């Protein structure tokens, strides 16, 4: 594809507009772009409105503070996940516009007002204990510029609650189903809507739940088509993927 730009450069070398040394240097850069690394760069680099993302678990308060302080000198929104409140307290000192979502354990800094998508992502939770993971989904999707509808506590133990919200769910472009215990919610929703369903197993439950394994296996074995699964408690991953699909 970049063959044209290579030819153009070679002509400039031939013409003497570009020296051999300069040409060699430029070409040594090219491979990354020829191989599509520009995609990676797009993926990683900070374009207007794209948030910078920091995964805080395993980082010290000082590290998180330093990273956000640096990022704050640029124009992009910032998202920090799995952040403890003391991290937020430290961040706020030098970044007063930071916001902490206690439930989702996220720090966000909004530097620009991204236009939200017309279509929306439905984030559906089975029980109140699944809310922290669901909120991480929602916060992630929102800072990436998506409209989000939260539908909570509609687990299958009282399935009429789910039906009363069905219009809202089926109106979404993509659905994220967050559930622990036996994770049946994902299957039931998958059987009711014809949109992609991203299932997030949570570690909520006890006994033979085995840290979310029960919900994970349930969701992988869902008898409903159109469902795929992310890692246990991985709200960020589901929100990121839902954003990708919602923006297609």
**Cα–Cα distances in Å, from 29 out to 24, 35, 116, 234?**
9, 11, 36, 36
Please answer whether residues 127 and 183 qualify as being in contact, where contact means their C-beta atoms are separated by less than 8 angstroms. no
Cβ distance to a copy of itself smaller for residue 31 or 97: 31
Q: Is 233 in the site for a copy of itself (CB under 8 A)?
A: yes
Q: CB of 74: closest distance to a copy of itself in angstroms?
A: 19
Q: Is 103 in the site for a copy of itself (CB under 8 A)?
A: no
User: Which parts of the chain fold into alpha helices (H)?
Assistant: 3-15, 20-34, 37-44, 61-71, 85-94, 131-143, 159-164, 166-170, 184-192, 213-220, 235-246
Q: Is 106 in the site for a copy of itself (CB under 8 A)?
A: no
Residue 235: name the closest of 150, 101, 130, 108 by CA: 130
Handedness of CA 220, 224, 225, 229 (dihedral sign): negative
Q: CB of 50: closest distance to a copy of itself in angstroms?
A: 11
Q: Is 237 in the site for a copy of itself (CB under 8 A)?
A: yes
Q: Is 118 in the site for a copy of itself (CB under 8 A)?
A: no
Among 127, 138, 172, 178, binds a copy of itself (CB under 8 A): 127
Residue 196: name the closest of 228, 231, 152 by CA: 228
Q: CB of 96: closest distance to a copy of itself in angstroms?
A: 27
Cβ distance to a copy of itself smaller for residue 6 or 116: 6
The one-character DSSP state at 55 is E
User: Which run of H or E residues covers position 121?
Assistant: strand 120-125
x/- binding map, residues 35-64, to a copy of itself, per CB under 8 A? xxx-xx-xxx------------xx------
CA dist 29 and 162 (Å) reads 54
The site for a copy of itself, by CB under 8 A, has a size of 101
Q: Is 83 in the site for a copy of itself (CB under 8 A)?
A: no
Cβ distance to a copy of itself smaller for residue 56 or 90: 56
Tokens 């290579």, residue located: 6
SS3 category, 200:
strand
Cβ distance to a copy of itself smaller for residue 145 or 212: 212
Q: Which of residues 205-224 bind a copy of itself (CB under 8 A)?
A: 205-224
Q: Which of residues 146-205 bind a copy of itself (CB under 8 A)?
A: 155-160, 163-164, 166-167, 170, 173-174, 181-184, 187-188, 190-196, 198, 201, 203-205
Cβ distance to a copy of itself smaller for residue 35 or 93: 35
Cβ distance to a copy of itself smaller for residue 92 or 192: 192
**Cα–Cα distances in Å, from 165 out to 5, 123, 144, 243?**
54, 12, 25, 22
């Amino acid at each position: 594809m970049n063959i044209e730009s290579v030819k153009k450069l070679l002509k400039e070398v031939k013409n003497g507009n570009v020296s051999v040394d300069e040409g060699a240097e430029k070409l040594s850069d090219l491979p990354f772009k020829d191989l599509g690394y520009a995609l990676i760069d797009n993926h990683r680099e900070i374009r207007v409105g794209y948030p910078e993302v920091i995964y805080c678990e395993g980082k010290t308060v000082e590290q998180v503070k330093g990273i956000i302080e640096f990022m704050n000198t640029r124009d992009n929104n910032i998202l920090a996940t799995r952040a403890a409140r003391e991290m937020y307290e430290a961040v706020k000192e030098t970044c007063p516009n930071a916001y902490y979502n206690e439930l989702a354990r996220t720090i966000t800094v909004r530097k620009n007002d991204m236009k939200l998508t017309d279509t929306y992502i439905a984030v559906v939770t089975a029980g109140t204990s699944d809310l922290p993971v669901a909120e991480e989904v929602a916060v992630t999707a929102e800072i990436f510029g998506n409209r989000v509808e939260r539908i909570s506590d509609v687990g299958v133990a009282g399935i009429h609650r789910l039906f009363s919200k069905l219009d809202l769910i089926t109106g979404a472009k993509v659905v994220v189903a967050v559930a622990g215990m036996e994770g049946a919610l994902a299957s039931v929703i998958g059987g009711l809507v014809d949109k992609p369903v991203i299932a997030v197993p949570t570690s909520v439950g006890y006994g033979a739940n085995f840290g979310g394994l029960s919900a994970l296996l349930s969701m992988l074995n869902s008898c409903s088509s159109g469902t795929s699964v992310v890692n246990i408690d991985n709200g960020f991953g589901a929100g990121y993927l839902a954003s990708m699909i919602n923006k297609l």
